[in-house]
Amino acid sequence: LQRMLSIAVEVDKSPNCNSCKIADVLFPFIWNIPLRSQREVLFNTMESQLLRCKLLELLFQQSCDVPTTLPLSLDKILYFLTHSSVLLPYQDETATWQRWDEMLQYLSLLLLSYQNCIPLAEHLRSSLSERMDLIIQKAKPRLRVSDDISPGDIELRIEDFTDRMQQILGQPFPWQITEKLGMFR
């Protein structure tokens, strides 16, 4: 399945457009996967980094109190950190900190997937054959303004997140949350 999805993303002239279409179709199924372990297997085995980015972006967009219209960027990922909640429908039986742990896990996965897509970000609108020509020519993609973030921006957003988390949990963070925040940082 993962190989077929990866091929489906690349089959047309616009992998970016294809990944959006495929993500829109797959998202309702992913939203209703009952177990965290099943969701993690799906995301961790996904071959297409671009499709993984789109699916995780939809997941976070759905879980934001106030959705954003920013394009996927480092700034948007930081926005998700401070504005996401844990709205997956099948998480009721798990402890609150475990739901936040899952959210941080997916946010880190989104960041890693996005970082793998950045070198090709400008080229992803091109077909595979055109993209190969651009890569051979060593045409450098242009970074978006929203990808230019400072360490201060990161610290501020992480502080906002930890303050919100402290209010929700009302207790010291479990070591898993602290570890994932460190990894995300």
- pLDDT tens column, 64-91: 888 888 888 888 999 999 888 876 666 5
User: Helix, strand or coil for residue 105?
Assistant: helix
pLDDT tens per residue, range 8-59: 877 777 777 888 888 999 999 988 888 889 999 999 999 988 899 999 999 9
φ, ψ for residue 122 (rounded to 5)? -70, -30
**Which pLDDT belongs to residue 17?**
81
| Nearest partner of 75 among 143, 2, 175, judged by Cα | 143
| Nearest partner of 85 among 69, 61, 109, judged by Cα | 61
Q: What spatial distance separates the first Cα and last Cα of the chain, rounded to whole Å?
A: 33
pLDDT tens per residue, range 116-142: 776 555 545 556 666 666 666 665 655
Task: Give the CB-side neighbour count of residue 97, counting CA atoms within 13 A.
Answer: 15
pLDDT tens per residue, range 3-12: 888 888 777 7
What is the rounded distance in angstroms from the CA atom of residue 123 to the CA atom of residue 88?
Answer: 33
Name the residue with tokens 């504005």: 83
pTM for this entry: 0.81
Is residue 81 within 8 A of residue 107, CB to CB? The reply is yes
* Count of other CB atoms within 10 angstroms of residue 88: 22
φ, ψ for residue 84 (rounded to 5)? -80, 150
Domain boundaries, the chain: 17-184
Percent above pLDDT 90 for the chain? 20
